[in-house]
A and B are shown apart, each in its own frame.
Chain A
Amino acid sequence: MSAVAVDGVWKYYGDYPALRDIHLEAAPGACLALIGRNGAGKTTLLRTVAGFSRPGRGDIRIFGKAPRETAARRMTGFIGHGISVYDELSALENLTLYGKLYGLENPRRAALEWLERTGLERVANGLVREFSRGMRQRLAVARAFLHEPALLLLDEPFTALDDRAIAVLQRLLREALQDGKTIVMSTHQLREALELSTHVALLVRGKVAFEGRCTPEMVADPGYVYARYGEGG
């Protein structure tokens, strides 16, 4: 069973098709990098897979379940453009809140563990509105990993991260892959993403222009996929 199966998905904004007949699969344990220019449909695809909106046509399955099924959401961790944590709550309160919503048996303990793993244990009781941008991003990472999801959907996870946050995220993603978790991430930071990826999909104007294994040529030259399969290729 695929971790993620996208079958003939179309998504419209008004009359405009943002996604056109997308077919993609990610096997359990794979790391799929979604690349493409701005407006190619990466964020729309990830948000549709995450269940934030329904596709106009086609079908999406997460470990065989529809994205809006509770079981599918329990298995999924999402990092979007926003950090999805509350400024007026502390880091610990935010993670404990999500721990409770995800049904963890000991939400506070899980929250403390992930604050430590992301290097935020010393500011556990600090309000998020007082955090630097890098700290906020690390907290968003902790929130997404908190319930140890089998599938991570990451929308441009390296954007706006400082060096330390990039290192933390790359370490956590490597550990997740070693644990057999599946990662689907959209990114413009090709070098960081391709170092981790097992597969690559290039989106051009809402269509999959290329999908395949990540090769040494791609890692050596991050512009390779664009040059060979993109519109300029």
Chain B
Amino acid sequence: MKSAERAPAPKGAAAFQILTIALKDLRSELRTKEAINASLAFALVILLMFSFAFDPEADTTREISGGLLWIVFAFAGTLILNRSFAREVPNDCLDGLIAAPVPGWVLFLGKAVANFALVMAVELVALPIFGIFYNVRWAQQFGELLGVLALATWGMTVIGTIFSALTVNIRLREVMLPMLTYPILVPALIGAMRLTAVLVMGKPIGGDDAAWLRLLVGFDAIYTAASLVLVETVLVG
């Protein structure tokens, strides 16, 4: 092989590496379906069970529907996030990634993007089911709802991915991850619950609710930045 073909990629390759890692994770997950099947099944079963507990015609049900939905998403999302770095444990695959000339923040973003896509996929499948079971108009302000879903899911993904890296070598990581992430996620989840409830009741986001939107944006920015700074220490010490 000619030496030119071995030449390092030009600068700006970080986006390509992020995409490569994300696609690798998505391909692995779609082949094994380890996490996504469990997550989807969990989300649908919980939504179904709760639908029997609440009267779908009652206004109070619609008021709490945002909370209900995000409890389901938070638990279902954890099932996916748990697998993020655990996927690298067999065959010491994490060593291969750490040894590669890929900065820690690139590795983190690649994994976070894949996790985000998987969690969003579960949410977008669960959303119409939720609409049917709880008689809510989820599609009425779909653009705004999608924005709230994306913001809160990114926050959940970032926290879940960094703690997945932190707990990867812990034997009880499946237990530790939710214990570590849920307390940190509380502000984002409250914001997402409030905003989702407003949107599925057909009201616009405004007034006090706009503050929750700003909180979600701030939450994402702060924890994304912190994770990007800390991930190298988390992986290598």
Say whether A87 contacts B5, CB under 8 Å.
no
CB of B103 closer than 8 Å to a CB of A: yes
Given the known interface contacts A80-B95, A85-B91, the answer about A105 and B103 at a Cβ–Cβ threshold of 8 Å is: no
Which A residues touch B99, using CB under 8 A?
A: 50-52, 73, 76, 78, 84
Write the nearest CB–CB distance from B22 to chain A, whole angstroms: 12
Given the known interface contacts A68-B236, A87-B90, the answer about A98 and B96 at a Cβ–Cβ threshold of 8 Å is: yes
Say whether A84 contacts B93, CB under 8 Å.
yes
Chain A interface helix/strand/loop/mixed? loop
Say whether A51 contacts B93, CB under 8 Å.
no
* Nearest A-chain residue to B30, judged by Cβ: A88
Within 8 A of A (CB), among B132-166: none
Question: Per-position contact with A for B91-128: 1 when CB-CB < 8 Å, else 0?
Answer: 11101111111110000000000000000000000000
CB of B60 closer than 8 Å to a CB of A: no
Say whether B95 contacts A86, CB under 8 Å.
no
Say whether A86 contacts B93, CB under 8 Å.
yes
Q: What count of chain B residues pass the 8 Å CB interface test? A: 33
Write the nearest CB–CB distance from B183 to chain A, whole angstroms: 28
Write the nearest CB–CB distance from A23 to chain B, whole angstroms: 22
Complexed CA–CA distance, A148 and B1 (Å): 11
* Nearest B-chain residue to A127, judged by Cβ: B31
Within 8 A of A (CB), among B58-109: 90-93, 95-103
Which B residues touch A73, using CB under 8 A?
A: 99-101
Question: Per-position contact with B for A37-67: 1 when CB-CB < 8 Å, else 0?
Answer: 0000000000000111110000000000000
Say whether B103 contacts A51, CB under 8 Å.
no
CB of B207 closer than 8 Å to a CB of A: no
CB of A143 closer than 8 Å to a CB of B: yes
Given the known interface contacts A76-B99, A82-B91, A89-B27, the answer about A52 and B236 at a Cβ–Cβ threshold of 8 Å is: yes
Write the nearest CB–CB distance from B32 to chain A, whole angstroms: 5
Which B residues touch A81, using CB under 8 A?
A: 92
Segment from B6-14, B48-56, B198-206 that makes contact with A: B6-14
Write the nearest CB–CB distance from A207 to chain B, whole angstroms: 22
Which A residues touch B103, using CB under 8 A?
A: 70
Write the nearest CB–CB distance from A51 to chain B, whole angstroms: 7
Which B residues touch A105, using CB under 8 A?
A: 4-7, 9
CB of A210 closer than 8 Å to a CB of B: no
Write the nearest CB–CB distance from A113 to chain B, whole angstroms: 6
Write the nearest CB–CB distance from B166 to chain A, whole angstroms: 15
Write the nearest CB–CB distance from A3 to chain B, whole angstroms: 16
Which B residues touch A103, using CB under 8 A?
A: 7-9, 13, 101
Question: Per-position contact with A for B11-36: 1 when CB-CB < 8 Å, else 0?
Answer: 00100110011001001100110000
CB of A220 closer than 8 Å to a CB of B: no
Which A residues touch B27, using CB under 8 A?
A: 88-89, 93
Which A residues touch B32, using CB under 8 A?
A: 88
Say whether A53 contacts B236, CB under 8 Å.
yes
Which B residues touch A109, using CB under 8 A?
A: 1, 5
Most interface-central of B93, B98, B100 (chain A CB within 10 A):
B100
Which A residues touch B17, using CB under 8 A?
A: 100-101
CB of A227 closer than 8 Å to a CB of B: no
Say whether B98 contacts A52, CB under 8 Å.
yes
CB of A177 closer than 8 Å to a CB of B: no
CB of A181 closer than 8 Å to a CB of B: no
Write the nearest CB–CB distance from B31 to chain A, whole angstroms: 5
- Per a CB cutoff under 8 Å, which of A51, A85, A88, A104 touches B31? A88
The 7 closest A-B pairs by CB, nearest first: A82-B92, A84-B96, A103-B9, A73-B101, A101-B100, A74-B101, A103-B8
Would you give 9 A-B contacts (Cβ < 8 Å), ordered by A? A73-B99, A82-B93, A82-B95, A86-B28, A89-B31, A98-B96, A101-B21, A143-B96, A148-B6
